[in-house]
Structure 1
């Protein structure tokens, strides 16, 4: 039985699950997507999106992103002798990206063309990220601190490790939805339609409505990109699966002071959940949430007051690599 189905079975009938219950269920599902048991996870990892009406853990960005639908972002490959855009990546069209579908397809093609050597089962996948933390756990903030997280996952999925107070801390693993170890990720469907079908089957009560399916799939696919180093065909399938979800638009963002492509999906009419790409190489850069209108929500542990332009939940990917031992950094 799916873990989310088990949660749904505990809800009282005939009333449908409350917003807080759905929030808890979705939080648990995305927690599992991070790849370790909640009790074994380092306390400093605050990468989890929490939906409304629960109060969410957030991380403020250095700069608020200017959000706009249908933004055209121009590549920086220059022009040829005839004034035409020069391709930046072989085999991928040059020139401006006009919409999310085009950006996602270019990202998929770029992933397929990158050289890649898969890890041995005894090697480790290293992921380093910069997370901007707020000064409170509840709601958007304009002040905060920056954490750099360094995590290692053994490629066969048997162990994970993290750097805590200068030492390596090990933990066991458990099956996750979606999978978070390299071996399971490499076995995921590489057909985008089949990949989405599998995700829909695994999300339990969060997929009871069409919008629930789409938003939960978007979050799950974002977690796969955020926390892993993916085989090229898997990464391409993730981008093309996102391309199939309705409501994904192109926005404008800045990552560490530089322009970025932001793929945004509007959640409950006020929040853009954004996946950010390099506008030249189409590599995944990170994620953030941006309020596109003022919003006040109510959760079990307090109210959530958000102003238009607030940046939430910013995680920037710094490095990914395959290494031989936990603690090793590229």
Structure 2
């Protein structure tokens, strides 16, 4: 059964409209035909059908990653004349035209967001939903039950990492000198000029010659794993604008069931690395990787074969913010 069938089965068949409802609808139609504005009817209480146990199956389907759903790119709602309005002041409500425009809207949204920097003794909390595959590094499972939630806490001074393991909060020292940096103090000092930030992201750190991500990958990792000062986050988006071959993608829905706008860049010749954004607020939502053609990769310990259209990674950030202690949630 697909998600549409599940939703259909969860609701009772609607009752036929009453004669009063038909009369009102006919009168409204005649008013609009004559160019008159119909009177607004009084508000009525709406009674929803009882779903019972069937809603559980629908809720489980809502956690699945769905491909092929058209993205609604108009932000906000509509005004009294039916024109779309933006959810973020100063950002157009019209559909996004390309990756550059999407990134600029994300930058402006970040700049408009209220923000209080964390104290050194506070923690950066992040919560993700991650879809697993049937095999390591292989295509993701189609079973919603294979979606797991990951929660982690990083002390703002960069000294301690905390995470849940077997239902218990565990702590470990954070590795100093990581690339990209993971402590808030280092991230807050990053350049807010896009050109300077891109130059930084394109430079190998001293002593590191292998495994360093590209500028696109490094900037994506900064977005994924941290809570950034608004000016730094805006600079990250504008630095990505300057990376060649970053293009807009549509028709994506993340594992939380929310619609997303995506942009991405081809890596390794067959993989499209994508960043997901909220279509209304342009907040960062997560990332995914999709095979754009068949590929077989030979490794020392395994061979991986993927087909065009396979989703190989899907991570959706559900919550991110500042808390007072490890284990505390938003």
Residue 134 of structure 1 aligns to a residue whose secondary structure is coil
2:31 matched to which residue of 1? Answer: none
Residues 83-102 of structure 1: per-residue CA shift (max 9 Å, x gap): 54322211112211010000
In structure 2, how many angstroms separate the alpha carbons of the residues matched to 1:136 and 1:274?
22
Rate the CA distance shift 1:138–1:156 in 2: closer, same or farther, 3 A: closer
In structure 2, how many angstroms separate the alpha carbons of the residues matched to 1:317 and 1:63?
14
In structure 2, how many angstroms separate the alpha carbons of the residues matched to 1:298 and 1:64?
30
Q: Within the alignment, does 1:120 sit opposite 2:122 as a pair?
A: no
Residues 139-164 of structure 1: per-residue CA shift (max 9 Å, x gap): 22435622211111111111111111
Rate the CA distance shift 1:246–1:73 in 2: closer, same or farther, 3 A: farther
- Displacement of 1:236: 0.6
- 8 Å Cα contact 2:103-2:241 kept in structure 1: yes
Residue 219 of structure 1 aligns to a residue whose secondary structure is helix
In structure 2, stretches of 5+ residues that fail to align are: 1-62
The TM-score with structure 1 as length reference comes to: 0.74
In structure 1, how many angstroms separate the alpha carbons of the residues matched to 2:246 and 2:268?
14
Q: Within the alignment, does 1:296 sit opposite 2:296 as a pair?
A: yes
1:153 matched to which residue of 2? Answer: 154
- 8 Å Cα contact 2:162-2:326 kept in structure 1: yes
In structure 2, how many angstroms separate the alpha carbons of the residues matched to 1:111 and 1:141?
31
1:131 matched to which residue of 2? Answer: 130
1:8 matched to which residue of 2? Answer: none
2:166 matched to which residue of 1? Answer: 165
In structure 2, how many angstroms separate the alpha carbons of the residues matched to 1:206 and 1:279?
36
In structure 1, how many angstroms separate the alpha carbons of the residues matched to 2:283 and 2:117?
18
Across the aligned residues of Structure 1 and Structure 2, the Cα RMSD in angstroms comes to: 2.3
Q: Within the alignment, does 1:279 sit opposite 2:282 as a pair?
A: no
Larger radius of gyration: 2
Higher RCO structure (Cα 8 Å, ≥6 apart): 1
The 5 Å alignment of 1:50-65 reads 62-63=64-65, 65=67
The 5 Å alignment of 1:15-34 reads none
- Displacement of 1:66: 4.4
1:186 matched to which residue of 2? Answer: 188
2:321 matched to which residue of 1? Answer: 321
In structure 1, how many angstroms separate the alpha carbons of the residues matched to 2:230 and 2:127?
19
1:7 matched to which residue of 2? Answer: none
In structure 1, how many angstroms separate the alpha carbons of the residues matched to 2:118 and 2:321?
10
In structure 1, how many angstroms separate the alpha carbons of the residues matched to 2:168 and 2:82?
54
In structure 2, how many angstroms separate the alpha carbons of the residues matched to 1:313 and 1:113?
30
Rate the CA distance shift 1:97–1:72 in 2: closer, same or farther, 3 A: farther
2:17 matched to which residue of 1? Answer: none
Residue 203 of structure 2 aligns to a residue whose secondary structure is helix
Rate the CA distance shift 1:143–1:97 in 2: closer, same or farther, 3 A: closer
Residue 132 of structure 2 aligns to a residue whose secondary structure is strand
In structure 2, how many angstroms separate the alpha carbons of the residues matched to 1:225 and 1:323?
18
- Displacement of 1:82: 4.9
In structure 2, how many angstroms separate the alpha carbons of the residues matched to 1:134 and 1:297?
17
Residue 195 of structure 1 aligns to a residue whose secondary structure is helix
In structure 2, how many angstroms separate the alpha carbons of the residues matched to 1:272 and 1:65?
15
Rate the CA distance shift 1:243–1:72 in 2: closer, same or farther, 3 A: farther
- Displacement of 1:280: 0.4
- Displacement of 1:135: 2.4
* Matching residue within 212, 216, 219 for 1:218: 216
Rate the CA distance shift 1:240–1:325 in 2: closer, same or farther, 3 A: same
- Displacement of 1:258: 3.2
In structure 2, how many angstroms separate the alpha carbons of the residues matched to 1:74 and 1:316?
19
Residue 150 of structure 1 aligns to a residue whose secondary structure is strand
- 8 Å Cα contact 1:65-1:311 kept in structure 2: no
2:25 matched to which residue of 1? Answer: none
